[in-house]
Structures are given as C-alpha cells and as structure tokens.
Amino acid sequence: GKHRIVIPCLGHFKEEYEKVSKLYMNNKIRTTRYTLLNFLPRNLFEQFHRVANLYFLFLVVLNWVPLVEAFQKEITMLPLIGVLTIIAVKDGLEDYSRYKMDKQINNLLTKVYSR
C-alpha cells in the first residue's frame, strides 16, 4: 500500500528535535465525529435536537400517563425507536467511511524537500 513518511533532515539536532516534538500535536487528519465510547450518547444528543424526534418523545412520555393513554405504551415507542435506530446506523456508516478516508489520507506517501 501507500505510505506517508516524513523524514526531516536534522543532522546533529535529531535528539533535540525528538525532545521538542513530543510537546506538539501530530499532523494527522481526523474528520470523524464519534469514537466507540461516545457514539451512543453523542448520537442521541444530536438526534434529540431535531424537533420531530422531540415530538415523538413527547408522545411516548405522554402515553405513559394513565389518564391520557391513547394506545399501548410499547406501540407508541416503536416509531421513535425505529427512527433513532435508522439514523444511528446511517450516522455510524457515514462516520466509518470518514474514518477509512482519514486513514487513507494519513498513510499517503509524502516527499519532504530540504535545502
């Protein structure tokens, strides 16, 4: 495959460069929104910023009140769970494709010119 290797011409300053370079961030590209740990909470947080999802959540909560209950509680939850699941899968697949593209870009072969 293709590799991206950047080797500066440091000469006798190599040890000093290694000490100083640990203080700075690397130049890897990262365009993904999620990690495995924050996918579910962050995705739900983003989804409930949509008015339609809040409306369905309101219907689910309202249906749990015995005086207002229109139909079975579980049936009211199905549209909300279905929409949340489909959008989460779509967002996860999009983020995974971004991850693969980032990995491809970060591993490209790069030439470094020095004077």
DSSP string, the chain: ----------GGGHHHHHHHHTTS-----------TTTHHHHHHHHHTTSHHHHHHHHHHHHHTSTTT--S-HHHHHHHHHHHHHHHHHHHHHHHHHHHHHHHHHHT--------
| Residue 43 belongs to some domain of the structure | yes
Q: Which domain covers residue 54, as residue numbers? A: 31-107
The overall average pLDDT reported for the chain is 84
The segments of the chain whose pLDDT lies below 50 read none
| Residue 16 belongs to some domain of the structure | no
Give the pLDDT confidence of 18-40 residue by residue, as tens digits.
777 777 777 788 899 999 999 99
**pTM score of the predicted model:** 0.69
| Residue 13 belongs to some domain of the structure | no
Domain count of the fold of the chain: 1
| Residue 42 belongs to some domain of the structure | yes
